[in-house]
Chain A
Amino acid sequence: MKKILRDTCILSALTILSVFAVSILWMGVTDEIRLVLELFGLSFIISVVNYLLDEFVSLPIIGSYILRYFAVTGIVMLFGFIAGWFYRSNFWMAFIYVGIVFVLAYLLDAVKIKRDVDFINRKIKERA
């Protein structure tokens, strides 16, 4: 199921990029296309930051999520201001958007870690 969901997301992203690439040739960059390209750009920056945090920062799990939350919120706010997504009065919306994603990611991650740890410990017991 996980593989199907992941493949669906990758296929959707590729489809969107292909369709928009053709649309850009026909109509130029419209507001909708610009928004989607900005979201791809933002996702790329966040992925790079996540990779660097994984590689160079060693914190407890909860600390790591708090650091990521503030780092990603900061990036979203900065990117949002540059792209014109937020007004000065509603910049706090970034905390909510990112927060919702992070709560879901944290819960999924916690379940996955527990499953992996249980699997490894079971294999060690079988080996003994």
Chain B
Amino acid sequence: MKIEKRQVDGKPLTVIVEYPEWNRSVDDLVKKIGRMDMSFVAKNDDGSIKISILDIYYIENVERKLFVYTKGDCFRLDGSMNDIESRAFDLGLVRISRTCIMNIEHLKEIRQIRNSHLEAVMDNDEKLIVSRKYLGDIKKAFKREGV
């Protein structure tokens, strides 16, 4: 793969992908680039803020309200779990329980507590409960990423 960079004044950041034929690697590359640009508009006490999908650790539904968690902050989000899941499933946001969607980019490890819950450990050492039912979806997301 050849990487070319050039500065062009007065234009937004533009990425051009040239490929001989569309294949899985190209698809993964385009998705990864797209992920860097996707963001959600969330709210906190100071007003609205744009949060890049890369900064999102997980999204939680608490009493029918959505909250998005970054490394150290929490914001309110409009929409529903299903909306977010369908918009961002290809981009690494995967449902891990009925009330939680996790960004696999920040996943450090999945732990199986003997005869008990499954636990996702994030790279900020926060722990999330993973429902067995959704373990297959996390696996699929990693397969799709082709890491």
Given A54-B131, A123-B142, A124-B108, is A117 in contact with B118 using a C-beta cutoff of 8 Å? yes
Residues in B neighbouring A117, C-beta threshold 8 A: 110-112, 118, 135
How many residues does chain A have at the interface if contact means C-beta atoms less than 8 Å apart?
20
**Scoring A residues 89 to 124 as 1 if CB is less than 8 Å from chain B, else 0, what string do you get?**
000000000000000000001000110110111011
**Scoring B residues 114 to 146 as 1 if CB is less than 8 Å from chain A, else 0, what string do you get?**
011110000000000101110110110010010
A13 interface hit (Cβ, 8 Å): no
Indicate if the CB atoms of B136 and A116 lie closer than 8 Å.
yes
Indicate if the CB atoms of A58 and B97 lie closer than 8 Å.
yes
B109 interface hit (Cβ, 8 Å): yes
B24 interface hit (Cβ, 8 Å): no
Write the nearest CB–CB distance from A66 to chain B, whole angstroms: 11
Residues in B neighbouring A113, C-beta threshold 8 A: 112, 118, 132, 135
B98 interface hit (Cβ, 8 Å): yes
B62 interface hit (Cβ, 8 Å): no
Chain A residue at minimal CB-CB distance from B105: A127
B17 interface hit (Cβ, 8 Å): no
- 17 contacts across the A-B interface (CB closer than 8 A): A54-B131, A58-B98, A60-B113, A60-B116, A61-B115, A61-B116, A62-B115, A62-B116, A113-B132, A116-B136, A116-B139, A117-B112, A120-B110, A121-B110, A123-B142, A124-B109, A127-B147
By Cβ-Cβ distance, the 7 closest A-B pairs, closest first, are A60-B116, A123-B142, A62-B115, A127-B147, A54-B133, A117-B110, A123-B147
Instruction: Mark A residues whose CB is within 8 Å of B.
Output: 54-56, 58, 60-62, 64, 109, 113-114, 116-117, 119-121, 123-124, 126-127
